[in-house]
Chain A
């Protein structure tokens, strides 16, 4: 069955430190891949997307993600987090005309 897995439920990171969120997908063919962020009480905001081409994708707010076909992964990174990055992050994959989401990773930023 097609699925998206985010292994980390919760990550705590210090402000100014780097952040990496993991995402793995299980699909027959490489799906389109997305990262969304959801701040408390808000909807989902698109951070970045991968369709094809360069496997390192740049997004908004200083985020980037790297697609690795051999590992079926699409991990999200940010070199230096800001307190405003505290939110829930969702990885999603578009395959068979459906967008499937992982369960999300909650990021807490400590001063």
Chain B
């Protein structure tokens, strides 16, 4: 079974530029998550999708971050414009159970490491 795929693996941009990350979850997984992991910290949830609908985006800085999952499969996360403090690893995860359902295990992709100069 293929795991969660993410691209690119690394990205370097200058502040005020825009950047987009892509995620393809495990086949059949209805729930998709984007996390931000700042160096030295644990991952923090940015947004959660159930199929193509948003379940939770309370921690997403909506003035600069956006995400979509139009067909309920793969997803993109965009930052526009980027700030220095956005430098982090952006992790995508997916799970097969419904959001908040029992025995929900999240499987993570390799992440995209973003450096904003």
Contact = CB atoms under 8 A, between A and B. Distances in A.
A97 B43 contact: no
Interface stretch (B14-22, B73-81, B97-105): B97-105
A83 to B, nearest CB: 22
The A interface, classified by DSSP as helix, strand, loop or mixed, is strand
Nearest to A94: B104
B91 A44 contact: yes
A101 B56 contact: no
How many A residues touch the partner, as a band?
20 to 34
Given A97-B99, A99-B45, 11 more contacts: A4-B42, A41-B110, A43-B91, A43-B111, A45-B108, A90-B43, A94-B104, A96-B100, A99-B106, A101-B44, A103-B41
Contact of A101 (B40, B43, B103, B107): B43
B41 A32 contact: no
Interface in B34-49: 40-45
A63 interface: no
